[in-house]
Structure 1
């Protein structure tokens, strides 16, 4: 598959666009947005590489019609050389929420029905849904979502995620957020305090290499790996990341060709990792933006 251009007009940035990171925390543009692209252009380009990718772009349009532009965070993930997608929805109002799980599942029902539900009164501030273009094309049901809750007992900003299926809730992941510069010592201590890492100091040097870092860094402890998220990185860092981790060459070329048009944006990156036979193994990587 190739990425056909010209790009849809809806991907062009506008001066009044509200920008946000993968937590939907807003920021000011890093450069003039004139002649720029919205971050969803990267998701659109990735979808062009999948024969069923049109279904994914239809879902994004439906969500924008339902929730408004800028309310859906997307993640492009790569594991074992294969791309997959996850969509994230935030509502920090919690008990007086506007973006509920039921509202989003209702919007997605024409593409992927679901019988999952959770009372709106539960204080989740975010949920996410794995999306496969082929599954959308086949109208395959959504049988799993991820729900995220705050962790008020912690001195650090942190969150807990749970997997929701027809069998109920199962605890999944713990996340801690750090300001990369101000919390550098605590960040490193958290990363190396892991049940999974050998030679943890050396691993920390690799994962906290300055060219990789963004404004915020998140450490996750997951069921089968640990994870690190580089939040609010520049477009050049994102382009280097997808090249270094061998994303599909047409997608890498697309990002590089339009790099100047993404200069006003931050992106967010993720790496899941573990030690295998005494060496650091990257299990999965991800790139995040919003639509």
Structure 2
């Protein structure tokens, strides 16, 4: 009967029996690991690579006595050292070397992933074309406390994508008519640097302006044309349909001279400032 009742308790069915409760608890030494840093780019100036230091332990099924319902609780103390190690990215030019120690004491009552702490490493932007670079963060056993964890994955890698502190190069790479007479634009960042966040400001950002047959044909901020900020990646393109639901911006049948200018108000500092405008003839055929 004791065995049956115990399994009923596990399943949550033994609601009226004063029996021991089965639960999961931690067992053994937690395994300590460091994550790889989120990829960062030096094209936007100084940024931060973040490494998360975590501990995980294996659970075991135990039965707590009636008078000790919290017998599965355990207290862990962690004391973990860390230091950066140069690779193809070298301190202090590419990043600021850091070293130190993370300490944390925590009480857990079941299987869990324990966040010991985060190490932040400053990454520096520069004007050099260096390609993708790497450096690492290495963990070690800390000092001054009884560390209850064992190092299982003590090296995390940071990847720096080279923005060259490079400059973007915005251009309208294509103008076409789709679904009859709706204008569709392809915008491209042909430079080696990303478009800065300031270009996406909702009221002061870069402007995309269209003209048809010499007359203004609507305009909008870059945020409206590229809400996902795809152009922050060098070499990327985004396709934008030009006001498909605005009747007064629909073309009439016939041949039209279209002109689109990206960054008309020169918000973005580009590697080439003379290729923001594209002119193209297009024939509208109404069905």
TM-score range, shorter chain: under 0.3
For normalisation by structure 2, the TM-score amounts to: 0.21
Query: Whose helix proportion is higher, 1 or 2?
Result: 1
For normalisation by structure 1, the TM-score amounts to: 0.21
Larger radius of gyration: 2
Query: Whose strand proportion is higher, 1 or 2?
Result: 2
